[in-house]
Structures are given as structure tokens and as C-alpha cells.
Amino acid sequence: MKIVSIRGYKGSGKTSVATTLIRELKSRGYKVSSVKSIHMEGWRIDQPGKNSYAHREAGAEPVAAWGLEETAIIFPRRLKPMELLKFFNADWLFVEGDLHLPVPQIVCAKSVEDAQELRNGLTFMFSGILSNEIDELDGLPVINALEDPQKFVDFVEEKVFQALPFFDCGDCGMDCQGMAEAILRGEKTVKDCVMMQKDNVQIFVAGKRVPLNPFVQNIIGSVVKGAVYSLKGVEKGKEIRIKILDPDLL
């Protein structure tokens, strides 16, 4: 999945940029998801007095509000970024706001000062209100998403890469932030992420993926394949899934 964060102060044009991206990439045949980060104190979907709110007050987590037109799964807290990402399985995910993970960022701004203040090593372009005035800033393009959506989305497609695993394992000689910045500068590619190249053995404990380096993946893969292929009727060369559910075995 490719992930892009769209950052900017209120009124800078973030939502217009997000909706342009969503619409244009949908028309190009991609599956697109989005997140709107909300920082308003006291904001909540669920309200005191609603039955679903009473379920939550009684201790249920999560609570589903299961309507005829919509379904909302409500957690009574702000999820961590990695917890949130588990719910998405699209070609593209756009986050309006800061995801607090090393993903490419578009900065929307009203002024050069705002743009320069928000820019960091993950910023690959500027947009928003500022794009009515200039088309380049500090070596990065400033593109008007509304006037030229094709050019805007072409550039996003060119620059954005498959999301890194965010393990910060250091096997590539840097952390994921450093790798993401190096890819955006054109010095590295996702193929330089060691974890992504040898990612054929995955372990999840209680739904959370455990980082495995290539050496450990090789050992576990060999042992499991040896045991499974010795069983009668097992076809080789297919995906193998193992679940251990009984706590007595753990």
C-alpha cells in the first residue's frame, strides 16, 4: 500500500488536495482509502445518551454502531498509527494530517513562510493556496491540484513508494525515516529495505506483526516447510499458514 500524508494549517487547502487525489486515482482504477486526522478537543462520533455510548460506558471495546446505511467501529481512544493501519488494505491511503510515521508528505500552505515551517525531509511537493502564486519552492514543485489534477497526480504516482514496514530494525544501515527520506531524494529505492526483500515469512502475535530479520525468516521457513512437506497430501510451493490458538501450547 502506498501512503501519503497531507499536512498543513487550517484553511490551507488540504481537503481539496485529498479529494482531488482520491477522485483522480479512483478514475485510474486504484482502490483508495483515506484517514482524516481530527485534533478537536472533545470531538467524538458517539454521544452521551446514545445506546452505543452506554455499551462503551459499560466497558465494551470496540463498539460497532451498525446502521442500515453505515457502520462505525468505535474505539474509546485514539489508536496508535500502526493499529490504525491494520484496518486498511488499499492501493493508496491518504492521511489528511500527520500520520507520525515516515511516509511521503505533501505540504499545503497559504504562504511561503508556512510551507518552509512545515517542510521536512519527507516533503516531496507543496500544494494548496500557495500554488496560486508560485510553482517552485526550495527545489520542490508547487502544483495546483485543482487547476491541473493530471499533472498533480502524475507527480504523486512518480514519487510515492510502497510503505516501508516501519520496523526500524536498522538492517539497512539506517532507520525507516532515513530510508524514506533517501528514497525521496532518489538515493535509495524500496529494494534497499532489507525487511521488504526477505519478507516471505511473517509472524503475528495477538494480531501484531513481529519483525523478523532475513536470517530468522530463513530458519523458520526451512523448519516449517520441512515439517509440512513431509505430511501426506500437502502440495509444495503453496502459501502455508499456521495458527496457534491454545494458550496451553504457548
Q: Is residue 35 part of the contact set for ligand SF4 (CB under 6 A)?
A: no
Q: Is residue 142 part of the contact set for ligand SF4 (CB under 6 A)?
A: no
Chain centre distance of CA 30: 15
Q: Is residue 163 part of the contact set for ligand SF4 (CB under 6 A)?
A: no
# residues near ligand SF4 by CB under 6 A: 14
Site for ligand SF4 (CB under 6 A): which residue of 88, 141, 171, 198?
A: 171
Q: Is residue 4 part of the contact set for ligand SF4 (CB under 6 A)?
A: no
* Contact in structure between 2 and 103 (CB atoms under 8 Å): no
H/E stretch holding 74 reads strand 71-74
Q: CA angle at residue 96 from 92 to 100, to 5 degrees?
A: 90
- Least CB distance from residue 211 to ligand SF4, whole Å? 7
Q: Is residue 212 part of the contact set for ligand SF4 (CB under 6 A)?
A: no
Helices H, strands E: what count in the chain?
A: 8, 11
Q: Is residue 172 part of the contact set for ligand SF4 (CB under 6 A)?
A: yes
- How many CB atoms neighbour CB 156 within 10 A? 25
Grid coordinates belonging to 154: 502524475
Site for ligand SF4 (CB under 6 A): which residue of 4, 115, 193, 212?
A: 193
Residues of this chain that bind ligand SF4 (CB under 6 A): 164-165, 167-172, 175-176, 179, 193-195
